A and B are shown apart, each in its own frame.
Chain A
Amino acid sequence: AQSVTQLGSHVSVSEGALVLLRCNYSSSVPPYLFWYVQYPNQGLQLLLKYTSAATLVKGINGFEAEFKKSETSFHLTKPSAHMSDAAEYFCAVNTGRRALTFGSGTRLQVQP
């Protein structure tokens, strides 16, 4: 069984500030972890993925995430927020060919 918990349904930052979106997972086998972004009325776009090759993963748009097995976490960060980063972010886990299990999402607001 697997699950994902995203702490904070809403996060608000100022433009240029650090973005930190939290994700904790639970999995009985080594997981694959993903962050997706969803802009209003659009589908999901893959930001980055963890596949056990490296614990620090860099993705698109300046985002990165660090896999910490001891903390069962996969938090998403970006050093400097941009207005265009405002969206809904989803953390997800799977264990291979199986369906993704999603967290409940975090809405990121970026204030000018």
Chain B
Amino acid sequence: GEEVAQTPKHLVRGEGQKAKLYCAPIKGHSYVFWYQQVLKNEFKFLISFQNENVFDETGMPKERFSAKCLPNSPCSLEIQATKLEDSAVYFCASSQPGQESYEQYFGPGTRLTVT
């Protein structure tokens, strides 16, 4: 597609439950990034992929967070045993190889509320 698609738009989980978020990058884009936005202004980088391979996972809280990008499937971000502090908007972005600036195109986000 021509836009980054993210599902679901909203997700509510009780503390301790699992949450799974999905992202379909723009067709032809081989880089996928996940960001967490808290308090409406702070963006935290979580993980990036080059095709199905992890490119950079320096921002990933590895104890409870995991992510995958498998061929012919949407990318996913999974949070095991959610905590209240995981409440945030999670954005996915994709970029196209060969672009000088590697500009990233963002999806509409998934708002996760942990109660």
Segment with Cβ contacts to A, from B14-22, B65-73, B76-84, B106-114:
B106-114
A33-90: which have CB < 8 Å to B?
34, 36, 42-46, 49-51, 53, 88, 90
Interface flag for B51 (CB, 8 Å): no
- The answer to whether B102 and A90 have CB atoms under 8 Å apart is no
Q: Provide the residues of chain B in CB contact with A104, threshold 8 Å.
A: 41-42
Contact residues on A (Cβ < 8 Å of other chain), bracket? 20 to 34
Q: Which residues of A contact B95 (CB under 8 A)?
A: 97
Determine the chain A residues whose CB is within 8 A of the CB of B43 once the complex forms: 90, 100, 102
Contact of A100 among B40, B42, B55, B104 (CB under 8 A): B104
A44 lies within 8 A of B91 (CB): yes
How many of B's residues come within 8 Å of A, CB to CB?
Answer: 27
The B interface is mostly helix, strand or loop, or mixed, namely strand
Q: Is A43 a contact partner of B101 (Cβ separation < 8 A)?
A: no
Kindly state whether residue A112 has any CB partner on chain B within 8 Å.
no
Given contacts A43-B108, A44-B91, are A99 and B102 in contact (CB under 8 A)?
A: no
Alpha-carbon separation in the docked complex, A14 to B31 (Å): 40
Which A residues fall within an 8 A CB radius of B? Answer: 9, 32, 34, 36, 42-46, 49-51, 53, 88, 90, 94, 96-102, 104-105
Listed by A's residue number, 9 A-B pairs whose Cβ atoms lie within 8 Å are A44-B91, A49-B103, A88-B40, A98-B56, A99-B56, A100-B33, A100-B93, A102-B43, A104-B41
